[in-house]
Structure 1
Amino acid sequence: MSLRWGILATGTIGKTYAKALIDSPANTLVAVGSRSAEGAQAFAETFPDLALTCHDSYTGLINDPQVDAIYISTPHTEHAAWAMRAMQAGKHVLCEKPMGLNHAESMAMVTCAARHNVFLMEAFMYRLHPQMTTIVDLIQSGEIGEVRHIEAQFGYHAAFDADSRLFANHLAGGGIMDVGCYPMSFARAIAGSEPLEIAAHGQLGATGIDEWSTALLKFENGLAAQISTAVSLNLTNEATVYGSKGSIHVPNPWLPLDDKQNWSFSIKRGSDTEVISGHSEGLYTIEADHVAQHIAAGNTQSDILSWQESLHNALALDQWRKAIGLSYAIEQPGSHRGPLLGTLSKPDNRISHGSVANLDKSVARLVMGCDNQPSMSHASVMWDDYFEAGGNCFDTAYIYGGGSMEALLGHWHTARGIREDIVIIGKGAHTPDNFPHIISKELDISLQRLQSDYVDIYFLHRDNLDVPVAEFIDALNDEVKAGRIRTFGGSNWSLERVREANNYAASKGLQGFSAISNNFSLAQMNEPIWPGTEDATSEAYRDYLQETQIALMPWSSQARGFFTPWAGQVIADSGKENLVVTSVQPTIEELKRVWFSQDNFTRRDRAGELAEKYGVEMINIALAYVLTQPFPTFPLIGPRQLKETDSCIESLNINLTQADIDYLNLL
Structure 2
Amino acid sequence: MPVTLPRPRLLDPASVPALRWGVIGTGIAGPFVSALHRRTTQRAVAVVARDQAKTEAFAREHGIGTVHRSVSALIEDPQVDVVYVATPHPLHHAQALEAVAAGKHVLVEKPIAMSAAEAREITDAGRAAGVLVQEAMWTRYLPQSDVIRQVLADGLLGDVRLVRADFGFVFPFDADHRLWNAELGGGALLDAGVYPISFASSVLGPPDSVTAVGSLAPTGVDERADLLLPSGGATALASTSLVARLPVTASVMGSQARLDVWSPFFGPTGLTLTSGSATAEETSTWRDQTFDRLNEGLAHQAVHLAAYVGEGRLESPVHPHAELVSIMATIDEARRQLIAAG
**TM-score for both structures, normalised by structure 1:** 0.46
| Matched residue, 1:37 | 52
Match for residue 325 of structure 1? 339
> Whose strand proportion is higher, 1 or 2?
2
Kindly indicate whether residue 205 of structure 2 is the aligned counterpart of residue 189 of structure 1.
Answer: no
1:33 corresponds to which letter in structure 2? V
| Aligned residues of 1:209 and 1:326 also touching (Cα < 8 A) | no
Q: Give a deviation string over 1:270-319, Cα, whole Å, max 9, x none.
A: 21122123432531111111111111222211111111121111111112
Contact kept in structure 2, 1:4 and 1:28, CA below 8 Å: yes
Structure 1: distance between partners of 2:64 and 2:249: 40
CA distance in structure 2 between the aligned counterparts of 1:110 and 1:326, rounded to whole angstroms: 29
- The aligned counterpart of 2:8 is none
CA contact (8 A) 1:87 1:113 kept: yes
Give the match's secondary structure for 1:287: helix
Corresponding position of 1:64: 77
Is residue 73 of structure 1 aligned with residue 86 of structure 2? yes
Task: Compute the displacement of 1:45 (Å).
Answer: 2.7
**CA distance 1:113–1:166, change in 2 (3 Å):** same
1:231 corresponding residue in structure 2: 242
The letter for the 2-side match of 1:2 is A
1:248 aligned to which of 254, 259, 262 = 259
Aligned partner letter, 2:310 = A
The equivalent residue for 2:3 is none
Distance 1:247 1:207 in 2: 40
Look at both structures and tell me which one has the larger radius of gyration over its CA atoms: 1
Q: CA deviation at 1:51?
A: 4.4
- Any unmatched runs of 5+ in structure 1? 258-262, 328-667
Deviations 1:12-46 (A, max 9, x none): x1111111221244311100011243232122132
Specify the alignment match of 2:300 in structure 1: 286
Amino acid at match of 1:318: D
1:3 is the counterpart of 2:15 = no
Identity score, percent:
33
Residue among 275, 294, 298 paired with 2:312: 298
Deviation at 1:7, TM superposition (A): 0.6
Secondary structure of the 1:62 match is helix
Deviation (angstroms), 1:326: 6.8
Alignment partner, residue 391 of structure 1 = none
- State whether residues 152 and 240 of structure 1, in contact with CA within 8 Å, keep that contact through their aligned partners in structure 2: yes
Contact conserved, 1:35 with 1:58, CA < 8 A, in 2? no
Decide whether the 8 Å contact of 2:206 with 2:323 is kept in 1.
no
Query: Letter of the aligned partner of 1:250 in structure 2?
Result: V
Q: Tell me the C-alpha RMSD between the 2 structures.
A: 1.6
**Residue identity in the other structure for 1:72:** V
Provide the secondary structure at the position in 2 that maps to 1:152. strand
Instruction: Find the residue that maps to 1:23 and give its secondary structure.
Output: helix
Structure 2 partner of 1:153: 166
Distance in 1 between residues matched to 2:219 and 2:128, nearest whole Å: 38
Deviation at 1:195, TM superposition (A): 0.7
The amino acid across from 2:272 in the alignment is S
1:275 aligns with 2:285: yes
Spell out the pairing of 1:466-477 with structure 2 (5 A cutoff). Answer: none
Aligned match of 1:140: 153
Alignment partner of 1:46: what SS?
Answer: helix
> 1:174 corresponds to which letter in structure 2?
G
What SS does the aligned partner of 1:163 have? Answer: coil
C-alpha deviation, 1:252, in angstroms: 2.4
1:40 and 1:166, CA in 2 relative to 1: closer, same or farther beyond 3 A?
same
**What are the residue-to-residue correspondences of 1:296-445 with 2, within 5 Å?**
296-325=310-339
1:197 partner SS: coil
Aligned residue for 2:307, secondary structure, equals: helix
Distance 1:72 1:51 in 2: 16
What secondary structure, in the 3-state scheme, does the structure 1 residue paired with 2:144 have? helix
Cα deviation, 1:511-537, whole Å, max 9, x if unaligned, reads xxxxxxxxxxxxxxxxxxxxxxxxxxx
Amino acid at match of 1:235: L
Of 19-28 and 69-78, more deviation after overlay is shown by: 19-28
Alpha-carbon separation, structure 1, partners of 2:264 and 2:152: 15
The alignment's TM-score, normalised by the length of structure 2, stands at 0.89
Instruction: Count the aligned residue pairs.
Output: 317
Q: Which has the higher contact order (CA 8 A, sep 6+)?
A: 2
SS of the counterpart of 2:158?
A: coil
| CA offset digits 1:204-241 (Å, max 9, x no partner) | 011101111101111112x1111100112110111111
Aligned to 1:102: 115
Give the corresponding residue for 1:533. Answer: none
Q: Distance in 1 between matches of 2:332 and 2:64?
A: 42
**1:266 and 2:266 aligned:** no
CA distance in 2, matches of 1:299, 1:70: 16
Q: Is 1:256–1:264's contact at 8 Å kept on the other side of the alignment?
A: no
Equivalent AA in structure 1 for residue 145 of structure 2: M
User: Does the residue aligned with 2:339 lie in a helix, a strand or coil?
Assistant: coil
Q: 1:201 aligns with which of 209, 213, 224?
A: 213
> Counterpart of 1:187 in 2: which secondary structure?
helix
Query: 1:36–1:56: 8 Å Cα contact kept in structure 2?
Result: no
CA displacement at 1:128 relative to structure 2: 0.9
8 Å CA contact retained: 1:200, 1:215? yes
The answer (yes or no) to whether the contact 2:44–2:64 under 8 Å persists in 1 is no
